[in-house]
Amino acid sequence: MVDAARAQRLAKRITTIVASAISGEIKDPRLAHVTITDTRVTGDLHDATVYYTVMGSTIDAEPDYTEAAAGLAAATGVLRSKVGAGTGVRFTPTLRFELDTVPDATRAMDELLAKARAQDELVARAARDAEPAGDDDPYYHEDGEAGQDARG
């Protein structure tokens, strides 16, 4: 039977163990700018997908995703051993590392929202100074006069 709460607890624990091992115990320079963002564990607790992001070494530097992936692939065995020792489960889950695309999608969404706000500001500025193209009230009323309010 699948215990979703247990899988979530194990996923959190794996995230913590892998992140601390990468930051403190594994001395691979390719992993210097890797951040573990999330972990998902299957219902049978046999497989874990660990999501990570890579930050650039400086503000202007592009992250090296291929080197980070190679570093994680090389460290998978050590990381799995640490997960096994740190979780105490009967079967240590296999670890699969995937690049987390959420930060990129968030950045793209923020750029789209900024564009939309700028466009809205342009429309609001144009509407503020605009005048109606025709009469104030262009509809026909019962008294036969267009543009006049029949109520008075």
Q: What are the structural domain ranges in the chain? A: 4-100, 101-131
Which residues are CB-neighbours of 82 under 8 A, at least 6 positions away? 17, 18, 21, 25
Among the residue ranges 35-39, 41-45, 86-90, 144-148, the one predicted with the least confidence is: 144-148
pLDDT at residue 38 greater than cutoff 90: yes
Does 18 or 150 have the greater pLDDT score?
Answer: 18
What is the average pLDDT across 118-145?
79
Q: Is 66 exposed, middle or buried (0-12, 13-18, 19+ CB in 10 A)?
A: exposed
pLDDT at residue 60 greater than cutoff 70: no
For the 4-100 domain, the top CATH level (class) is alpha beta
Cα end-to-end distance, the chain, whole Å: 76
How far lies 34's CA from each of 48, 54, 103, 123, in Å? Answer: 18, 5, 13, 43
pLDDT in tens, 131-143: 777 777 777 777 7
What is the average pLDDT across 58-77?
85
- Mean of per-residue pLDDT scores for the chain: 85
Residue type, 108: A
